[in-house]
Structure 1
Amino acid sequence: MTRPANRIGLSTSSVYPESSAHAFGYAAALGYDAVEVMVGMDALSQQTAAVRQLSDHHGVPVSAVHAPCLLFTQRVWGTEPWGKLERSAEMAAVVGAEVVVVHPPFRWQKDYARDFVTGIAALEESTGIAFAVENMYPWRASQRRGVEMYMPGRDPSEEPYANTTIDLSHAAIAADDPVAMARRLGPRLRHVHLTDGTGSARDEHLVPGRGTAGAAEFLRHLAAEGFGGEVVVEINTRRCSTPQEREQDLRESLDFARRHLAVGTP
């Protein structure tokens, strides 16, 4: 007999250029357990009341809020980074999510980066929300060695964060072993972005199993270790020419997660 070890969510970014509303619809139709809201992908994602209404309407809970800290969301909810994180925590509290996913600061955000580690800990203390800091990657134009663009660093296992996220596409770009990173993090690993990559210079976010990041091995490791956090499918479906093709990629990703997270029970 087997059972799924974890709740499997769908990131709203996985249906782009369709909207967050479509993401909730796909999640409900395909049987995902939850949704992670990427703030900034569309205007609706910035509206807490709308997100809550979508969750209630489709009967799909929100597992996490991804703060607007990507390069192309730098002006979403203003330009002050701590304000963005506070608003993300407020949304999470209203919609019932326990996690805010956040990237480490860019190198040019020097003041933000200087206080980032202690500031994240203070936010967790004041809000009761887990801020799961995500692994990132060097920027490069080819297979050559890239430029480190994040401070205090791209590997969350090197800092004393209480909660962290592993993204398999990011690990593939950085040539990081996600299983080894998970071992270093231990119980501090709170959140997973399930995807894949081939090690190219691009952040590919492939359907898990279509790349070389070792997604199956990674999920089996999580299951064996009794990982109790969230697993969220975060793939790129922009090249899908029809909603049916996008739905197939989302279904394949969900099936992959369930298959490899299944653990034996007496």
Structure 2
Amino acid sequence: MSSILIPATKSLTVTNKFPNGNINEDIIMVGIDGEYMYTSYLFFDSSAIPNNVYVSNAELVLFKTNNFYNNSKIEFFISPLSDYFSTYTTFNNPPRENKIIKMKFYPITSKVAVTVNLSYIVSLWVKNQLTNTGIALYCRNQNVIAEFGSAINENSYLIPFINVAINPIINKNQCCTRYPIDNGTTKQVQVIGTVAPASKYDAIVNVGVTRSGSGHTDNYYVADEYDNSTSGNPLHIDKTYNVAIIPKENPGDVETVNFYGSYKE
């Protein structure tokens, strides 16, 4: 196993305080200050990841610049972007976010760095199932703002990066993401349906697990594309997906299964 460090190459913050502008400075801001909402975007160049590998782990590292105290109840979120962003991006003209995929993290901590597991998102980048390698960071709690170093911070120690652990693909049946079996639960989900002629359909299977101890809901996903673009006949789908749930489910955890999707063409 080897690791690749991928620094953020672009960053931006948008806010309804400046609805037709943006903040492109040495920090990014996420949250709500009681009056204004702040959402930030990061972009990563994933071309350094070889094609003939699978992602065994990917961890986003954010370096804090404020609020060094502990409050593990305040949830922040990360979702992949479906559009690119630029210096012309504003609160009123934001990039589309894939809110079906949502990773939780808890950055209100006394630690100087916050880590977020992005293994699933990075695996989708490697498999070209997500063509945009940007992410959105946001929070819906009132009266809390988290600030992190941005991609253009002059202090290189504060620039966010993703630490990607990779392994070579030994055979064609090797999956793109591996997890230790002892620490997880495998949920099998069967999907049955029909895709219209001359179309492509993007599908996501979501297994949500509400943990009995904390009440937090962890979401686990499998993405697929049903390609019927070259056929004039409907395509029947009957597939079973194995969804890895880590950490494993415990007695009292509540599990929900949802299916999301949309036509691409």
The TM-score, its normalising length taken from structure 1, stands at: 0.26
**Greater helix percent: which structure?**
1
**Greater strand percent: which structure?**
2
The TM-score, its normalising length taken from structure 2, stands at: 0.26
Q: Which has the higher contact order (CA 8 A, sep 6+)?
A: 2
